[in-house]
Each structure stands twice: as structure tokens, then as C-alpha cells.
Amino acid sequence: MFALTRTYDVALLDLDGVVYVGERAVPHAAEALVAARDDGMRLAFVTNNASRPAETVAAHLSDIGVAAAPEEVVTSAQAAARVLAERLSAGARVLVVGGEGLEVALRERGLEPVGSADDGPEAVAQGFSPDIGWRALAEGTYAVASGALWVATNVDATIPTTRGRAPGNGTLVSAVGRASGREPVVAGKPEPPMHREAILRTGARRPLVVGDRLDTDIEGAERAGVDSLLVLTGVTDPVELVLSPAGLRPTYLGADLRALHEPPDRLVVEPGRSSHGPWKAAVEGGRLRLWRDEPAAGTSAPELDAVRAACGAAWAADGVEPASVRDAFAAANWAVA
């Protein structure tokens, strides 16, 4: 059976937690992506982080061993800029609460970035930047409260860093929302404009979304009607995955980007399929139980087979006690974080 690299034409890859965390590449990511290209799969690097322009993101990727051209990078700033350009006239002023990536994306769409509510903006574009302070949030609030169209690049509550989870753009958007009493139009994942932007830019006919978050990457793929691969190198842990509701469940599960080179049937997770490799699972009285037969020859990542089996059993059940999921992994001698 063909690997995912031969089954799908374009991988729509999330970045933070999938390809890199902070300044460092995720282990095995660079080699797996080089090999994916060799197999004929095209790559698009799709990120909700709007702080940097595509050229800067591409340079960072190249520095960590993943050769990337700026046109292969799709940011939520670009998705937000398209949303604004479709609603505003050419040359309209847009107040930027964010970084350089948002300013560049707006100019590419023929809009004029400004920095103050006193500049007469017709809209506010808000995206993550580690340098955003109170004054920028205040200017955004003044404009939003006065009735300006408000588009947020994303509302991710957190971002992964080498030191752990840190506040994401969603926390900053919430500050403006609470102060102004309004809600923004959201362009980034899981909202449709993000994957629409990626598909338009790549011309993908059968894309595969690859991500680490259920509530952005996987939900976004589900809403776009696109298959997805969840990798466990970022935010989501196995217990959270097993307990995930419909609409936030991936098509496939892999440890990291090497999963792109596995056949779909090895990676698939679906309700009712409660036997994977040497592992079997069942839900009895609302509690998850896991056990294994003798290891099957030629299987890879057997610990993830336990998670796949657990997902199959739990997703087909009426309900599962959350504590029983962690207990089941512990009883199977596989500790999860």
C-alpha cells in the first residue's frame, strides 16, 4: 500500500509543534520532509502565527534543514488580509495590532497599515507578536469600539515554546474584546479562511492537514472536509485525543512527521476499530480497558497502536470516564505525560 506521501498531493503542515518548537526543529522533522518531497509530495507550511512574513518563516525553515520558498508559506496574516481585502476598497486604512507579518500581508493585498485609531482606519487587523503592549491593545480597542471592522488572525489561547505553553493571540484578542464589547471575525484555523487560503495558493486537489492541535488543525481540517494527521510532538497528548469529541478527531495518528511515510491503514483511527497491531481495547461500564497480544512482526510505534485502539473503542462508546483512560495506559505499562 502506498504511503501518505503518495496518497495525498500536498501536505498542509502546521509549524509550531509540528516542524519546530521555538528555534529548534522537532526531531526527525527535517529528514521526513526532505524524503516526502523526494516521494513527490508538495509541502505548504501553514501557520496561525502571524508575527513574521513568509520570507522570514521560509528562512527559518531553511536554517533548520527544511528548504522552503516564501511561496510555500501560508500564514494566518495572509488569510486575514484576504478577508479584509474582500470587504474593503483598495487602499483602505487598517489599524495593525500585531507584527511585521501582518503589515506585509496587508500591503500585498493593497491595503494601508496604520498604527493609531486617530489615523481613521476602516478596520483593525489583530495578530500575535511577542512585542505587543498595552498601548497597541488600547489603540485597537478604541478603533473596534468605534465600529471598525475587526479581523483576528487566530484565537489560539496558547503557543508552544521550549519552556512550555505560553499565552497566544487568543489571550490578546480577549483583552480587546472585553474592553470593546465586540467579537472579531476570525481568519485562522479552525475557521475556513485559513485552509481556503492554503488551497488557493497551492492548487491542492487532495490535501492532507498535518497538525498537533485538535482545536485548530484537526477541527479546521474537519470543517474544510479534508483528511488530517495528528502528530504528538506539540500540544495534544494521548489522553486528550482519546477523549476528543466528534469534529476534533483526526483521520490518522503518528508520533511525528515520519508518519508521512507510513501507509494509511497503519495510521488510521476511527470509531469501532479497537484492534491495532498487538493492542486491543474495549469500554466496559464506562471504563476503558487495554490489553495486548504477542507483538506482531513488522509493526512500528507499538505504543501508538495502543492509543489508536483506545480511540477506536472510546469513540464508539456512549461515554468514557476520563480517569479510566489514564489508568488504562498505566496498566498497559505505557505512561503518558
Q: Is residue 299 over pLDDT 70?
A: no
Task: Compute the residue count for the chain.
Answer: 337
Residue with cell 496604520: 114
Residue 334: the pLDDT is 60
pTM for this model (two decimals): 0.88
- Residue whose C-alpha is closest to residue 99's, from 169, 12, 156: 169
Residue 294: the pLDDT is 65
* CB distance 186 to 155 below 8 Å: yes
The band of 252, judged by pLDDT with boundaries at 50, 70 and 90, is very high
- Residue 241 CA to residue 308 CA, distance in Å, equals 10
The pLDDT tens digits of the residues spanning 97-137 come to 999 999 999 999 999 999 999 999 999 999 999 999 999 99
Please state whether the peptide bond connecting residue 190 to the residue before it is cis, i.e. omega within 30 degrees of 0: yes
Instruction: Report the half-sphere exposure of 311 (CA within 13 A, side-chain side).
Output: 27
Q: Residue 178 belongs to what H/E stretch?
A: helix 169-180
Residue 330: the pLDDT is 85
The burial class, CB within 10 Å (0-12 / 13-18 / 19+), for 127 is buried
The band of 295, judged by pLDDT with boundaries at 50, 70 and 90, is low
Strand order in the sheet with 275-276: 275-276, 279-284, 287-292
Query: Rounded to the nearest 5°, which phi and psi values hold at 229?
Result: -120, 120
Query: Rounded to the nearest 5°, which phi and psi values hold at 311?
Result: -60, -45
First-last CA distance in the chain:
33
* CB distance 180 to 141 below 8 Å: yes
Q: Is residue 80 over pLDDT 90?
A: yes
Strand order in the sheet with 252-254: 73-75, 42-47, 10-13, 207-211, 227-231, 252-254
Active-site residues, by number, are: 14, 16
Q: Kindly report which listed range (147-151, 228-232, 235-239) carries the lowest average pLDDT score.
A: 235-239
Residue with cell 491595503: 111
Q: Is residue 206 over pLDDT 90?
A: yes
- Residue 75 CA to residue 52 CA, distance in Å, equals 9
Query: Rounded to the nearest 5°, which phi and psi values hold at 225?
Result: 70, 35
* CB distance 32 to 256 below 8 Å: yes
- Residue 158 CA to residue 127 CA, distance in Å, equals 13
The pLDDT tens digits of the residues spanning 135-145 come to 999 999 999 99
- Residue 209 CA to residue 198 CA, distance in Å, equals 10
Query: Rounded to the nearest 5°, which phi and psi values hold at 325?
Result: -70, -50
* Amino acid residing at 264: P
Q: Residue 84 belongs to what H/E stretch?
A: helix 76-87
Q: Is residue 337 over pLDDT 50?
A: no
Per-residue buried b or exposed e for 186-214, using 16+ beta carbons within 10 Å of the residue's own CB:
bbbbbbebbbebbbebbebeebbbbbbbb
Query: Rounded to the nearest 5°, which phi and psi values hold at 269?
Result: -125, 130
- Residue 104 CA to residue 111 CA, distance in Å, equals 10
Residue with cell 478577508: 83
The pLDDT tens digits of the residues spanning 313-327 come to 999 998 899 999 999
Q: Is residue 308 over pLDDT 90?
A: yes
